Amino acid sequence: MKKKERASFILDYLERIYPETPIPLNHKNNFELLVAVLLSAQCTDERVNKVTPALFLKGNDPISMAKMSIDEIHYCIRSCGLAPKKSKAIFGLSKILVENYNSEVPESFSALESLPGVGHKTASVVMSQGFGHPAFPVDTHIHRLAQRWGLTNGKNVIQTEKDLKNLFPKEVWNKLHLQIIFYGREYCSARGCDGRDCEICKTCYPKRKSALKTKKP
């Protein structure tokens, strides 16, 4: 298969398996989504969904969150990885949203990425899943799978995002990035598949004999 053929097969196959793509992080507004995505760094979505109810009960908008102390925020999210750093970031971005953005989550990449603790991937999730703008958030899982499936050379996540955007039409980006994540968790995880076991890997590379080593971001 050529790269475009692989991309076409993957797109069709994932659409059959995952016609619906609910956002895995529980949230009721864009501020909660922003905080939840920030918390998901080096932490599972399942863990995030366990800690956010107590956090959002006290602060589900920038104003109420900014009234909490960093210690109060930390207490709610203490079981998440990098909790001390994330607590400061959540408090800091909440104050900035209150002071500079009328307590609203800004609808632009540049504004989002200027907030404490918010990188390009987090901003991409908020822009795509919160505001509906075409984006292709690339986390470590998508970076790994894109290499396994021969869609990128794996140089870095920036290159992976660029390659995926060039391969797939813009109108499917927001859904496809979730479909890839779902598939990776269920069929092509880091330990569950080495590039030869799942249906996509076997179809894209039927003659692959040895395990594929992927480059980390």
| Catalytic (active-site) positions | 121, 139
CA dist., res. 209 & res. 196, Å (int): 8
Looking at residue 130, the DSSP 8-state letter turns out to be I
CA distance readout (Å), 116 to 22, 28, 85, 153, 170: 27, 21, 10, 31, 28
- What is the token pair recorded at 24? 């895995």
CA dist., res. 74 & res. 210, Å (int): 45
